[in-house]
Chain A
């Protein structure tokens, strides 16, 4: 009887093959783990810096981003209600509030910058999203993000409204992405929920 026809052979073969291929994947995973973690951290740090009034070069290298982040950004405190702090010469310039919520296809993660007056938006940036390229995916583009700069948080249930293109804007609203109603609506919903929570927490702690 050939060895291939023995009853135990398929089990042993499968076991050895699985062990072999898994071992290579585990080794490769260990080799790249640090790099993957660094990429995730840099993506977040870039988003924080982009949301704040900091002159970040478009093609800043990962080490440059990390250095700037360490230089300017301080951890959140009870007084900042979960928002990171942008400090310069020991004075508070702005807050960077991480945002997270469901998009049309997957979770959207980003950061919104709010000036020290707790009212003026300094910028918004996204470091994770899987919206439709060309439609919802346009939220990462400058055209959409630049609208937020200088807007004021309104003292009402929706501090920063995302309106359809046909509706006129005021000091507390921006236009949605054309053809991406779902992404814009969902982004507006979780962004405003989290802004409201933050404003409420800031009022309580300060």
Chain B
């Protein structure tokens, strides 16, 4: 059974303290590529959460039997297995979304967050807590991606999830086309990472001050 404090620490670390995107700067490639529409980001986030949680669980389940020399090959095999499973399911049951995400679902295999959690956590911890760690690491990635995609779709297209937004979808707002183009992702991600890191540093300084 999971220890209560440990689970809470794992969750908070994955979402905030050690957030994969704004603290570890991992998974940036897909964070830039799929965030021009919120719906694409939601599906991509679900795919990453699914893969991170289940691959961490499986890696942990096999950790006592996996020889160290082939450890990373096994981890890659497991990650690829879940990604292909998700990709096939999308192709079969949501073909429009599969076409819209193009090669990015397949590229989750190369997302450093997943291999990072398998190596750093799942290899040394029991399956249940590894699942929790993987799930919330994926969720930590998803939160930042969603923030980026909301800003990009709103400023670039005047909508969120395809729903026209007041003011932004009217003639009063001149659509910032650059926001749905690749440079828009760089600006937005950089600004969001800057804000979140500033908040975190301020929070840490406050805690340090209280301790003194």
Contact = CB atoms under 8 A, between A and B. Distances in A.
A132 B180 contact: yes
A35 B156 contact: no
Interface in B81-104: 81, 84-85, 88-89, 91-93, 95, 99-100, 102
Given A4-B67, A9-B67, A25-B85, A35 B36 contact: no
- Most B CB atoms within 10 A — which of A39, A134, A135? A134
A9 B102 CA distance: 39
A18 B75 CA distance: 11
Nearest to B99: A128
Contacts of B36: 132-134
Interface string A130-174: 101111000000000000000000000000000000000000000
A134 B180 contact: yes
Interface centre among A28, A35, A133 (most CB of B within 10 A): A133
Contacts of B89: 32
Interface residues of A, number: 29
B81 A21 contact: yes
A102 interface: no
Interface in A9-60: 9-10, 13-14, 17-18, 21, 24-25, 28-29, 32, 35-36, 39-40, 43
A198 to B, nearest CB: 26
B108 to A, nearest CB: 15
Specify the main secondary structure of chain B where it touches its partner: helix
A29 B65 contact: no
Contact of A21 (B67, B78, B91, B157): B78
Q: Kindly state the interface size class of chain B when it binds its partner.
A: 20 to 34
B95 A43 contact: yes
B70 interface: yes
Nearest to B152: A134
B73 A14 contact: yes
Which of B36, B88, B157 has the most A CB atoms < 10 Å from its CB?
B88
Nearest to B178: A179
Contacts of A129: 99
A21 B77 contact: yes
Contacts of B85: 24-25, 28
Nearest to A105: B102
A43 B94 CA distance: 12
Contact of B177 (A18, A40, A106, A179): A179
A17 to B, nearest CB: 6
A133 B92 CA distance: 22
Contacts of B100: 133
The 6 closest A-B pairs by CB, nearest first: A32-B92, A134-B180, A39-B95, A10-B67, A21-B81, A35-B92
26 contacts: A4-B65, A4-B67, A10-B67, A10-B69, A13-B65, A13-B74, A14-B70, A17-B62, A25-B81, A25-B84, A25-B85, A29-B88, A32-B88, A32-B89, A32-B92, A35-B92, A36-B92, A39-B91, A39-B95, A128-B99, A132-B180, A134-B37, A134-B157, A134-B177, A135-B177, A179-B181
